[in-house]
Amino acid sequence: MDRLLKLDYFINHKFMDPLTNKNIADELHIGERQLSRLVLAHYGTTLHTLFLRKRLSVAAMLLLESTDTIESIALAVGFKGKMNFYREFKKAYQMTPTQYRKEAGKFSRT
C-alpha cells in the first residue's frame, strides 16, 4: 500500500517533472517491470498514459482559469514544446487548446 501512495504522489504532484520509469521504480525500491505491472494492475493503463492524462487535465483547467499563453501552460505542465502539447491535446479533446479556451470558456463564464 505504501508503494501505491508514493505512486499516487508522483502522478499527482510530480507529473510536470521529467520523470522516467526507472526514476520512479528506484524511488519505490522496485524494478521497472514490477512498476509496470503495479501500474497496470492498479490503474489499468501505463505510467506514460497516466502522466499524459494528468498533464492534459491540468492544462485544460489552466486554459480556462488563467490568461497565460498556451506555450507557457504547456511547459508548466511538463510538455517539452508547444507542438507536442497541441498534438496530444487535440487527440484527447478533439480540438486545439485555442479552440478549447474559446469554446469551453463560454460555458464556464455563465
8-67 pLDDT tens trace:
998 889 888 888 899 999 999 999 999 999 999 999 999 999 999 999 999 999 999 999
Predicted TM-score (pTM) of this structure? 0.86
pLDDT at 110: 47
The dihedral of CA 54, 60, 61, 65: what is its sign?
Answer: positive
- pLDDT higher at 63 or 2: 63
Owner of C-alpha cell 521497472: 32
pLDDT at 105: 66
- CA neighbor of 33 nearest in space, from 52, 19, 47: 47
pLDDT at 3: 87
Tell me the mean pLDDT in the region 1-6.
Answer: 84
Tell me the mean pLDDT in the region 69-77.
Answer: 96
Q: Which three cell numbers stand for residue 44?
A: 489499468
- pLDDT higher at 104 or 98: 98
Encode the chain in three state secondary structure: CHHHHHHHHHHHHCCCCCCCHHHHHHHHCCCHHHHHHHHHHHHCCCHHHHHHHHHHHHHHHHHHHCCCCHHHHHHHCCCCCHHHHHHHHHHHHCCCHHHHHHHHHHHHCC
Distance CA(59)–CA(73), nearest Å, equals 6
